[in-house]
Amino acid sequence: MSELWRDEYKLLEKKLAERGLDGKQIRTAIKNFRCETPSWGYGPSGTRFGVFAQPGEARTVWEKFEDAAECHRLTKVCPTVAVHIPWDKCEDYNKLKAYAAERGVAVGAVNPNVFQDKAYQFGSFGHPNKDVRKKALAHMQECAEIMRATGSDILSLWFADGTDYPGQDDFRARKRRFEEDLKATYALLPKNARMLIEYKFYEPAFYGTDLPDWGMALLMAQKCGERAQVLVDLGHHAQGVNIEQIVATLIDEQRLGGFHFNNRKYGDDDLTCGSINPYELFLIFVELVTAEAEPKTLPFPIAYMIDQSHNSKPKLEAMIQTVEFIQSAQAKALLVNRKKLNEARAKLDVVGAERCLTEAFNTDVEPLLKSVREELGAALDPVAAYRSSDYHERKSHERSGKAVGAGLGVN
């Protein structure tokens, strides 16, 4: 690999100093950043409409953790793996915890599934039938026990609940059911664990979704307790929604729990993060890194997690690519000259304030990222390193049997 990036990094260091930025502080923030990858992103969980098998993709939870460990080995910033139950159900979770540790990773967020079973056709926590709600709560209890066994400290909740037609059910009654069952779920959490409530404005409910937006998720979190927070999925908004403003509001309310990183063109497309609207991701990170630099702004660390599905791209390669892009967005956000930005805002200099952002966004941060990766012991170019290795070829040979344990989609 060419060493030209070292000279480019020296030039960038000089530019940062000229802008009055603390290069050491920026490097530290990049080095400390961690992002969780999802087990379902490595396996045969294609779309809501079909599963398209790929050579070498993980077929079991054990193989998913193998791939996640390879992603972490190349990037050094993905030490935890989110699991989806029952997609990742196994007989011995202590064994899974040990298996992960042997490979340098750990079990991250536990994601219950209350949308695939036939009993949930008309909802789970929002269902009019108390026996269905009882079944959903029993699954939450199961997931809480899995958290205790694996050491997970996050329960990540997404619900497909809603109605398709006017008059189908009572809005207020469904809200009360949700409130009651979310409070019951909160009580099941292991000590010091958090519950993150995700929202989505449509699909599969096409008339009224029970948790349609960040306001409803925030309301429910506030009713449950301080360890209940909001989970923002970048693909779960209507076109044109100002996600960075939502992020800023949740930060100010101290209820931003985490992110599901992905991207979309139309709806919840679960595309590779940054593939469609990189400037939006940058602007979101501007809010995030500003808050993280302020003492006592965030009561809990923000949980950065990937939630996406790939049919066109190879699973592991696409995951590594996403991690790289998230790092790039964070690095660029750290390059914003906030002193200059605040001065422009105070003077109502709209153009000057925007130029502070575009100056950072247009900066080539690859030399900076390579310098940090070298210090972390990661591959300087993780995607290229993966492509030049024999990992995919070996796993394609080892996993040549029939795929098993496929999920039907992602949330």
Q: pLDDT tens, 65-124?
A: 999 999 999 999 999 999 999 999 999 999 999 999 999 999 999 999 999 999 999 999
In a domain, 373, yes or no: no
Q: Please give the average per-residue pLDDT across 198-204, as a whole number.
A: 94
Residue 373: pLDDT over 80: yes
Distance from C-alpha of 8 to C-alpha of 246, rounded to nearest angstrom: 36
In a domain, 382, yes or no: no
Q: What is the pLDDT of residue 404?
A: 52
Counting every residue, how long is the chain?
411
In a domain, 227, yes or no: yes
State in Å, rounded, how far the first CA of the chain is from the last one: 39
Q: What is the pLDDT of residue 49?
A: 63
Residue 282: pLDDT over 70: yes
Distance from C-alpha of 146 to C-alpha of 274, rounded to nearest angstrom: 32
Residue 133: CB atoms within 10 Å:
21
In a domain, 406, yes or no: no
Q: What is the pLDDT of residue 2?
A: 77
In a domain, 77, yes or no: yes
Q: Which residue has the tokens 């966004």?
A: 361
Q: Tell me the pTM.
A: 0.95
Residue 311: pLDDT over 90: no
Q: What is the pLDDT of residue 357?
A: 98
Give yes or no for a contact between 111 and 82, defined as CB atoms under 8 angstroms apart.
yes
Q: What is the pLDDT of residue 338?
A: 95
Q: Could you tell me which residue, 266 or 410, shows the higher pLDDT?
A: 266
Q: What is the pLDDT of residues 20-38, one digit of tens each?
A: 999 999 999 999 999 999 9
Q: Which residues pair with 107 in a beta bridge?
A: 81
Residue 323: pLDDT over 60: yes
In a domain, 117, yes or no: yes
Which of 355, 369, 295, 269 minimizes the C-alpha distance to 326?
369
Residue 50: pLDDT over 80: no
Q: What is the pLDDT of residues 138-158, one digit of tens each?
A: 999 999 999 999 999 999 999
Q: Please give the average per-residue pLDDT across 259-275, as a whole number.
A: 92
Confidence grade of residue 51 (pLDDT, cut at 50, 70, 90): confident
In a domain, 367, yes or no: no
Residue 222: pLDDT over 90: yes
**CATH (domain of 108):** 3.20.20.150
**Average pLDDT score, the chain:** 94
Q: What is the pLDDT of residue 406?
A: 45
Q: Is 145 exposed, middle or buried (0-12, 13-18, 19+ CB in 10 A)?
A: middle
Distance from C-alpha of 215 to C-alpha of 213, rounded to nearest angstrom: 5
Give yes or no for a contact between 258 and 303, defined as CB atoms under 8 angstroms apart.
yes
In a domain, 391, yes or no: no
Omega before 38 within 30 of 0, i.e. cis: no
| Domain count within the chain | 1
What is the longest distance spanned by two Cα atoms in the chain?
66
Q: What is the pLDDT of residue 408?
A: 47
Domain that holds residue 73: 33-335
